[in-house]
Amino acid sequence: MTDSPYHSGYVALVGRPNVGKSTLLNRLIGQKVAITSHKPQTTRHRILGIQTRKDGQIIYIDTPGIHDRGGQALNRYLNRAAHSALQEVDLALFVVQAGMWNREDEMVLKAIKQAGIPTIAVVNKIDTVRPREALLPYLAELGQRHDFLEVVPVSAKDGTQVETLETVLLKYLPVGEAIFPEDQLTDRPERFFAAEILREQIIRRYHEELPYAVTVEIERFEEKDGRYVIGAVIWVERDSQRGILLGRQGQAMKEAASAARRNMEEFFQTRVHLDVWIKVKKSWSSDETSLAQLGYSD
């Protein structure tokens, strides 16, 4: 009896904002590599998550949500990042939210059809549907929208059916050797995760509008005296936003930075000294040059 062939390949997670793509990525690879929040457009960069199994290696690409919620340069960059991922992978996971379908879901499906890429539909957040049988008409309707390889209901939050999803998608990937070393989880450097961890705290702590005018740049990242010394700049677009971030006597920012430092220590498994500055770069999210300078580059 021969062993089953080893499969490996690239898989893009695509969907509209806030359907749980990043939560699903973290669940699939068993470690947090993508920041999450309940607010749309939390993911701004394509993030590689590498899962190595005995029977294959799956390289997931988490993408920003495809959306029509604004025409700024940042919005255009996010959509380009998601669309271009579909040109570079073997398989797409089209993530939708159980029981919901809107024009942005339709936009994503249109992009999938235009790319002509084999696709598995992943119906996330099934834990929110009660009774579970109420999901059946939605699954049937989704199956009629496109010739999906399979439709797999999951809950990224509690892990329901996630292992089943892994097994399903692996069989559709090409036969081939592992592309990355088995102990590698991502292609992103540590300073990228430092910036994302701090941005996650800002997204979660401040009101709805402010996080979209905020980005984080790491100006210093070095190992010194057995700890990481990190200097971070939080860029905003207006002086008033700087005041909101600081809070009364700077207390709000102190709390956010302290929480980010603790999360960094847990992520990097070492002590962290974190310095944070807030600076203003007017209308950075509307300017292509500023975006490129801040790391939003194709």
Residue 2 predicted with pLDDT over 60: no
Q: What is the pLDDT of residues 97-127, one digit of tens each?
A: 999 999 999 999 999 999 999 999 999 999 9
Q: What is the pLDDT of residues 200-213, one digit of tens each?
A: 999 999 877 687 88
Q: Three-state DSSP class for 223?
A: strand
Residue 5 neighbours by CB under 8 Å, 6+ apart: 175
Average pLDDT (279-291) is: 92
How far is it, in rounded angstroms, from Cα 295 to Cα 298? 9
pLDDT at 1: 43
Let me know whether 95 and 15 are in one domain. Answer: yes
Let me know whether 107 and 235 are in one domain. Answer: no
* Average pLDDT in the chain: 92
The residue type found at 46 is R
Q: CATH code at 62?
A: 3.40.50.300
184 is a domain residue: no
* Tokens coding 117: 């890429």
Q: How many domains does the chain have?
A: 2
For 22-26, which contacts have Cβ atoms below 8 Å and span 24 or more sequence positions? 22/47, 22/62, 23/156, 23/157, 24/93, 24/95, 24/122, 24/124, 24/154, 24/156, 24/162, 25/49, 25/60, 25/62, 26/156
Let me know whether 143 and 211 are in one domain. Answer: no
Let me know whether 203 and 167 are in one domain. Answer: no
Let me know whether 14 and 161 are in one domain. Answer: yes
pLDDT at 9: 97
Peptide bond into 131 cis (omega under 30): yes
Start-to-end Cα distance in the chain: 47
pLDDT at 147: 97
* Tokens coding 187: 């292609």
Length of the chain: 298
Let me know whether 165 and 195 are in one domain. Answer: no
Nearest CA among 30, 21, 23, 78 for reference residue 50: 30
Q: 272 has which bridge partners?
A: 228
Q: Tally the C-alpha atoms within 13 A of residue 79's C-alpha that lie toward its C-beta.
A: 15
The domain boundary residue, chosen from 171, 206, 221: 171
Q: What is the pLDDT of residues 199-246, one digit of tens each?
A: 999 999 987 768 788 999 999 999 999 999 999 999 999 999 999 999
How far is it, in rounded angstroms, from Cα 61 to Cα 49? 6
Q: Which of 33-42, 158-167, 248-257 has the lowest mean pLDDT?
A: 33-42
The domain boundary residue, chosen from 141, 171, 201: 171
Q: CATH code at 228?
A: 3.30.300.20
Range of the domain at 218: 190-293
pLDDT band at 63 (very low <50, low <70, confident <90, very high): confident
Let me know whether 43 and 116 are in one domain. Answer: yes
pLDDT at 67: 86
179 is a domain residue: no
Residue 59 neighbours by CB under 8 Å, 6+ apart: 8, 9, 10, 11, 48, 49, 50, 51, 179, 180
Let me know whether 225 and 163 are in one domain. Answer: no
Let me know whether 210 and 157 are in one domain. Answer: no
pLDDT at 298: 63
Residue 279 predicted with pLDDT over 80: yes
Let me know whether 167 and 274 are in one domain. Answer: no
Q: Tally the C-alpha atoms within 13 A of residue 4's C-alpha that lie toward its C-beta.
A: 11
The domain boundary residue, chosen from 171, 203, 219: 171
* Tokens coding 71: 């025409």
Q: What is the pLDDT of residues 140-164, one digit of tens each?
A: 999 999 999 999 999 999 999 999 9
pLDDT at 213: 87
Let me know whether 19 and 117 are in one domain. Answer: yes
Let me know whether 83 and 112 are in one domain. Answer: yes
Average pLDDT (184-202) is: 94
